[in-house]
Amino acid sequence: MFYSLIFSITKVALAAFLDARHDSPSLNHLGDSMAGKKKQQDTAGMTQEGRFYSAERLHAMHDMMLYIRRFEEKAGQMYGLKKIGGFCHLCNGQEAVCVGMEEAAEPTDYMMTSYRDHGHILARGTDGVAVMAELLGREGGVVGGKGGSMHMFDVEKNFAGGNGIVGEQVPIGTGFAFASKYRDDKRVSITIMGDGGVNQGAVYESFNMAALWKLPVVFVIENNQYAMGTSLIRASAETHLYKRGISFKVPGIQVDGMDVLEVERKMAEAIEHARSGKGPMIVEMMTYRYRGHSMSDPATYRTRDEVDEWRSGRDPIVRLQKQMIEAGLATEAEFKQKDKDIKKEVVAVAKAAEAQPEPDLSKLWDDILSDEVPNAYPYPRQVG
Amino acid sequence: MSKITYREALNQAMCQEMERDNRVFLMGEEVAEYNGAYKVSQGMLDKFGPSRVIDTPITELGFAGLGVGAAMAGLRPIIEFMTWNFAILAADQIVNAAAKMKYMTGGQYDCPMVFRGAGGAAARVSSQHSQAFENWYANIPGLKVVMPSNPADAKGLLAASIRDNDTVIFIENEINYGDIGEVPEGEYIIPLGKADIKRVGKDITLIAHSRMTGYALLAAEELAKQGIDAEVVDPRTIRPLDEATILASVAKTNRAVVIEEGWRFAGIGAEISARIMEKAFDDLDAPVARVTGKDVPMPYAANLENYALPSVAEIVEAARVTCNRA
């Protein structure tokens, strides 16, 4: 009973976000802007840079960003209590990238990233309980407790990780785009990396092939200015990362990654570029992580002033709240209530996840091979 | 049956599987317009077109990873490495991605693909182009490692590898590409994980894979002249290993020599001899012997290269010692 109640609350918030995406006329980025204009007349909302956002959709985007923020805070707390083990990379501050990007994508588009993946999989619509259960190493985790924080996957949501080796997901994402072109199914691969990952050689091998073969991939660089503890200027000769594709004729744009609406707009353009057969595009998202690289990182390599400047001056959630209040689409009291509700929801999510058992020991032997070979060493389910 | 080369047999297997399943494609350096660096993909571009037979830039890590993504998305890539020496550049994608993807995703994503190319020593190409890496890959859960020793096996095992739902490391041998043998025409499949007894004997078991199987057969001829009747077992699949066939042979002969082209330290011979010791200790009348490549980088000079590789004479000698006939 208790469980199902929690699930239903969680699902409501997620469903609102996902439904808003499906119903939204502005999601129709394969053409038809007329539909958007028509809807504008009879729906409350606001227009930015000529793009209309319904109130419902704005609320959904806001709620998902806030949900990710509170979820990550909860994860940080659970880590402090030693309930989450290993490496844990939080995305506080980067929520607009997760949500704006998802907002621009189709659910059938592929998405994959590195190990800072909680926000992205939540934005994709994966159940928060399953994500939290994975963090806790429980049976009902998204990958059954085999991966933990760094390896979130959801094949039904077309979310392909969750990859732990910096830059590894970039050729893989290019491969998803290859498959899309091979089958001509018009799906775009949204392949995300950080400002650290972008220095890996595999990235340039991928840029080259993607451009050569006009693969439908959007390479997203989440530039949060620090690769672990190394600032961008100490690691990159060219710090304008959107220019990194120039030698490969991959066009790039820079986006304010603290503005969910700008993220949505620019991503929609990039996705349309890829989907229409023009090949890859690079989108550099200027963003910032409020927390350290991982839970063991006190982030002494940056000043408090710098962090405060981003936190208080450019926070993506506060920014959207202000815009919505100014447009008369919400009130401060409403947002306060939402925050209370979402915090409660996240507490319930954590409780539900924690109540799950650890995976059965027999699971150790599952999922190594698809076609097991009987009577050959190493035997399935046996050592020695 | 028809007499064709090892490379033609590989070509037949790929064509057979690409005709059967349009998810299968071949990608690698020089596979299309050049018809393959070793001509294994001769004529495939003409047959299947540039969308399924794809020349890549020289970018092993990139196209290996592209293959992993394509496999996760539901295609069945055959990724050719010109040789396995160059695959080291792609090790991250093979080891950290392909091998673990099924496990790490809780079974959500499969990685059904074949990485294939020439392994082992070629001729006079020195240290960086003459290496046997099967023990590296055989160490890793999630990978299958397949190594054919003759044209018929090349065809049957490659076809099975392409149909397999896991990631298969398929290591050919450059010296064997021109070998001619009887190969079944039409669809031909050899299940993975099944060893083959290449010569029946009763006095000693010679266990050898890839190019060394031929050496073991030559050694067996020589041993026969000396009154020793050797059985030659070719595992064909290194991982999973058909331990049962090896143990049954040792139970019959009570003696074994394991032969491999690669280095001795933590090699395939080390694994197989350990398995025999663990499971067939009471069957043994003598310690298991190993004949391996010498523990040095491969030199260029003809005499040094020859000396660095296992020889038929060394196999004969090891067998004689094991049979107390030295």
Residue B29, domain CATH:
3.40.50.970
In this predicted structure, what is the pLDDT of residue A33? 42
In this predicted structure, what is the pLDDT of residue A30? 36
In this predicted structure, what is the pLDDT of residue A295? 87
β-sheet bridge partners, residue A253: A283
Between CA A193 and CA A287 the distance in angstroms is: 13
Shared domain for B209 and B115, answered yes or no, is no
Run of H or E residues at B279 = helix B268-280
- Mean pLDDT of the A70-89 span: 96
- Mean pLDDT of the A150-157 span: 98
Q: What percent of chain B has pLDDT over 70?
A: 100
Angle formed at CA B252 by CA B249 and CA B256, multiple of 5 degrees: 60
pLDDT in tens, B78-91: 999 999 999 999 99
In this prediction, residue A11 has a pLDDT band, given cuts at 50, 70 and 90, of very low
Q: Is B188 part of any domain?
A: no
In this prediction, residue A32 has a pLDDT band, given cuts at 50, 70 and 90, of very low
Shared domain for B14 and B65, answered yes or no, is yes
Shared domain for B212 and B159, answered yes or no, is no
In chain A, which residues have their Cβ closer than 8 Å to the Cβ of B239? 378
Residue A374 has pLDDT above 80, yes or no: no
In chain A, which residues have their Cβ closer than 8 Å to the Cβ of B165? 370-371
- Enclosing domain of residue B11: 2-183
Q: Which residue has the tokens 């031909």?
A: B188
Domains and CATH numbers, chain A: 2-353 (3.40.50.970)
In this predicted structure, what is the pLDDT of residue A1? 36
pLDDT in tens, B272-292: 999 999 999 999 999 999 999
Shared domain for B19 and B111, answered yes or no, is yes
In this predicted structure, what is the pLDDT of residue A3? 40
In this predicted structure, what is the pLDDT of residue A130? 98
Shared domain for B15 and B145, answered yes or no, is yes
Would you tell me which residues 10-39 of chain B have a C-beta closer than 8 angstroms to some C-beta of chain A?
Answer: 25
Shared domain for B67 and B141, answered yes or no, is yes
Boundary (domain end) residue, out of B183, B217, B250? B183
pLDDT in tens, A107-119: 999 999 999 999 9
Q: Is B190 part of any domain?
A: no
- Mean pLDDT of the B108-131 span: 96
Shared domain for B215 and B159, answered yes or no, is no
CATH number of the domain encompassing residue B202: 3.40.50.920
- Mean pLDDT of the A269-287 span: 98
Would you tell me which residues 68-127 of chain B have a C-beta closer than 8 angstroms to some C-beta of chain A?
Answer: 68-75, 92-93, 96-97, 102-110, 112
Shared domain for B208 and B316, answered yes or no, is yes
Q: Is B208 part of any domain?
A: yes
Residues of B recognised as catalytic = 60, 129
In this predicted structure, what is the pLDDT of residue B229? 98
Boundary (domain end) residue, out of B183, B215, B244? B183
Q: What is the CA radius of gyration of chain A?
A: 21
Handedness of CA A218, A223, A226, A228 (dihedral sign): negative
In this prediction, residue A24 has a pLDDT band, given cuts at 50, 70 and 90, of very low
Query: Which ranges in chain B belong to alpha helices (H)?
Result: 6-20, 44-48, 60-72, 91, 101-104, 134-138, 151-163, 211-225, 243-253, 268-280, 302-308, 312-322
E strand residue ranges, B101-179: 113-121, 130-131, 143-146, 167-173
Shared domain for B148 and B227, answered yes or no, is no
Q: Is B191 part of any domain?
A: no
Q: Which residue of B has its CA nearest to A108?
A: B73
Q: Is B270 part of any domain?
A: yes
Residue A199 has pLDDT above 70, yes or no: yes
Boundary (domain end) residue, out of B127, B152, B183? B183
In this predicted structure, what is the pLDDT of residue A375? 74
Shared domain for B25 and B148, answered yes or no, is yes
**B89 vs A66, A201, B55, B58, B95, CA distance in Å?**
42, 11, 18, 11, 11
Q: Is B189 part of any domain?
A: no
In this predicted structure, what is the pLDDT of residue A222? 98
Residue A5 has pLDDT above 90, yes or no: no
In chain A, which residues have their Cβ closer than 8 Å to the Cβ of B273? none
In this prediction, residue A380 has a pLDDT band, given cuts at 50, 70 and 90, of low
pLDDT in tens, A237-252: 999 999 999 999 999 9
- Within 10 Å of residue B86's Cβ, how many Cβ atoms? 15
Between CA A333 and CA A193 the distance in angstroms is: 37
Do the Cβ atoms of A209 and B63 come within 8 Å?
yes
Shared domain for B149 and B255, answered yes or no, is no
Q: Is B84 part of any domain?
A: yes
Q: What is the number of domains present in chain B?
A: 2
Shared domain for B37 and B176, answered yes or no, is yes
